[in-house]
A = this chain, B = another copy of it.
Amino acid sequence: MRWIYCTIAAATIVGLTAVCGPSPAAAASKKPAAHAGISQQSQACLQCHRSLTPALAEEWRVSAHAGKGVGCYECHRADKTNPAAFEHNGATISVIVSPKDCGGCHQKEVDQQKGSHHAKAGEILASLDNYLGEVVGGSPAVAVGCFQCHGSTIKVLANGKLSPATWPNTGIGRINPDGSAGSCSACHTRHRFAKAQARQPETCGKCHLGPDHPQVEIYQESKHGILWQANKSQLNLDAKSWKPGVDYTAAPSCATCHMGATRTQEVTHDVGDRISWTLRPAISTKLNMVVFDDLSKIDVPEGQPLPKVGDEKKGGDGKLRKVTQVFTWQDRRARMQDVCSACHASGLVTGFYKQFDDLVDMYDDKFAKPATAIMSELYKAKKLTPAPMDEKLEWTYYELWHHEGRRARHGASMSGPDYAWWHGVYEVAKTFYFHFIPEVKEVAGEPLATELLEKYVYSQPAHRWLKEGMSKDQLQQIQDFYKQRYGEQK
């Protein structure tokens, strides 16, 4: 199975395709010579890189790109105006291939990606999470941590090289030297860029994992993930059309539900298109979506006024833009339910969403809203300094919603019971009752502590058990069960 470079054949191709080399016009339009072998310039690249980086070259050789004549130079060539452009053995190239470059051939996908949260992932640079990273942790931790998923803002050094604090980086919201946002190779790993690979759950798991959003772990626990493991080889992963119920059956991957084509929907590269809840903040919200004429998008929380198509409205950057499309959260949910229906009868889908919504509402009302309100009152009463994360209670509250509360909600959203409960609500409850409340008491002091806890916690029936305990009957019932289940414990 060892592969051999057919150098004689390759030389022949060079001869045949010499006319297809990038003419100045082609370079300007960034369209590669289609289907007609590899350009002379890319052949020149390969001359060295076949031996310098042989696996890189071979990964490309087996790619769809190679089959269609898209070689090294077709993607890496750069405009001299690109701050990251440099001369390399006579060619002007950029190490970084940005969505702007990919858009030369894949404009539709890049347009979809533009308005997505993925493209905005680099904006976290100005957030609390970044304060945590840069100040509490330290810049080097940001480079190998945050940036690797969110994307760095690539810096070009005085010597024209990329700053190693920001490169290598394939974070999905990378801010590129050419001004574009995103990194297609976050999912379509270079240099094969295989559809089959991008469709696998592990691809999404590069970032969607861990204590704060264990989506891939939840998926792996779910029936979806179990069937993926069982049937992976039968899923037609290489196919161009990849519709559940048409091109493959069980099981769906992340891509199936959040991005994939169905019998009525096209592929989307905005992973938010089918998401009706945002479960990222402390308190969850259903989100309507507004699309502008420049393809940018904003989310408008349920309950806030929605513009109509044709209206002018401020975009994400505060500038006025024309609204071209409006999707309510119900529209977004309907799109997801259309995916569900390839495999599931409608009663199951409805029941699933009811269980999911109920969990989110319960988490919000019982834990997130009281905790958030108490934190806000403590800041107002100057019981906490305005600086974030410099007091223990702030970490307790942060993990309550950012880690545990998300795990509970994500667990419910993708049918991972262990995450909904043990990693989720169980931890939320433990933290809320046995860490958050005691720490609030200490930070607030009396009479504020009692006042806040009465107002936000104990007045809620769901919290009364903590003060009232259990009835004798309840106690007996539990003790009897325990004896039967576990035997008498010495």
State the A residues within 8 Å of B (CB): 1-2, 49, 52-56, 58-59, 62, 95, 123-124, 126-128, 131-133, 135-141, 143-149, 161-162, 164-165, 167-168, 170, 189, 192, 194, 196-197, 200, 202-203, 205-207, 209-212, 220-223, 225-227, 229-231, 236, 239, 241, 244-250, 263, 278, 280-283, 285, 299, 301, 316, 341-345, 347-348, 350-352, 354-356, 358-359, 361-362, 366, 369, 372-373, 385-388, 390, 392, 395, 408, 411-412, 415, 417-418, 420-426, 428-430, 433-434, 462, 465-466, 469-470, 474-475, 477-478, 480-482, 484-487, 489-490
Given A285-B487, A342-B55, A481-B126; A197-B211 close (CB under 8 Å): no
User: Are B226 and A189 within 8 A (Cβ)?
Assistant: yes
User: Are A342 and B54 within 8 A (Cβ)?
Assistant: yes
Inter-chain CA distance A385–B220, complex, in Å, is 40
Closest CB in chain B relative to A472 CB, distance in Å: 8
Residues of B within 8 A of A281 (CB): 485-487, 489
User: Are A469 and B421 within 8 A (Cβ)?
Assistant: no
26 A/B residue pairs, CB under 8 Å, sorted by A:
A52-B341, A56-B342, A56-B344, A59-B343, A95-B347, A123-B485, A126-B478, A127-B478, A135-B465, A136-B429, A138-B362, A138-B425, A138-B462, A139-B358, A141-B425, A144-B411, A146-B417, A148-B417, A167-B347, A189-B223, A207-B417, A281-B485, A281-B486, A282-B486, A387-B470, A392-B434
Closest CB in chain B relative to A476 CB, distance in Å: 10
Inter-chain CA distance A211–B350, complex, in Å, is 31
Residues of B within 8 A of A489 (CB): 281-283, 372
Residues of B within 8 A of A482 (CB): 127-128
Q: Which residue of B lies closest to A58 (CB)?
A: B249
Inter-chain CA distance A212–B223, complex, in Å, is 20
User: Are A170 and B474 within 8 A (Cβ)?
Assistant: no
Q: Which residue of B lies closest to A230 (CB)?
A: B197
User: Are B345 and A53 within 8 A (Cβ)?
Assistant: yes
User: Are A131 and B221 within 8 A (Cβ)?
Assistant: no
Contact of A137 among B211, B385, B429 (CB under 8 A): B429
Inter-chain CA distance A352–B226, complex, in Å, is 30
User: Are B395 and A430 within 8 A (Cβ)?
Assistant: yes
Q: Is the interface of A mostly helix, strand, loop or mixed?
A: helix
Inter-chain CA distance A278–B421, complex, in Å, is 23
Given A54-B245, A280-B486, A481-B128; A229-B202 close (CB under 8 Å): yes
Closest CB in chain B relative to A300 CB, distance in Å: 9
Contact of A161 among B126, B347, B470 (CB under 8 A): B347
Contact of A418 among B189, B210, B411, B418 (CB under 8 A): B210
Residues of B within 8 A of A49 (CB): 345
Given A55-B250, A95-B345; A426-B478 close (CB under 8 Å): no
Inter-chain CA distance A54–B54, complex, in Å, is 44
Given A137-B426, A283-B490, A489-B283; A53-B343 close (CB under 8 Å): yes
User: Are B194 and A230 within 8 A (Cβ)?
Assistant: yes
User: Are B140 and A359 within 8 A (Cβ)?
Assistant: yes
Residues of B within 8 A of A356 (CB): 144
User: Are A347 and B387 within 8 A (Cβ)?
Assistant: no
Closest CB in chain B relative to A68 CB, distance in Å: 19
Residues of B within 8 A of A248 (CB): 55
User: Are A411 and B462 within 8 A (Cβ)?
Assistant: no
Residues of B within 8 A of A418 (CB): 145, 149, 207, 209-210
User: A1-B239, A131-B474, A145-B421 given. 18 additional CB < 8 A pairs?
Assistant: A54-B245, A55-B248, A59-B250, A127-B482, A137-B428, A141-B425, A147-B417, A148-B420, A149-B418, A164-B351, A167-B351, A170-B223, A189-B250, A205-B226, A210-B418, A210-B423, A211-B423, A387-B469
Residues of B within 8 A of A249 (CB): 55, 58-59, 62, 192
Residues of B within 8 A of A478 (CB): 126-128, 131, 388
Q: Which residue of B lies closest to A392 (CB)?
A: B434
Residues of B within 8 A of A301 (CB): 487
Closest CB in chain B relative to A353 CB, distance in Å: 8
Given A168-B348, A281-B487, A361-B140; A343-B424 close (CB under 8 Å): no
Q: Which residue of B lies closest to A472 (CB)?
A: B386
Inter-chain CA distance A82–B225, complex, in Å, is 33
Q: Give the 7 A-B CB pairs with smallest separation, nearest first.
A: A145-B421, A54-B245, A387-B469, A281-B486, A148-B417, A164-B354, A55-B245
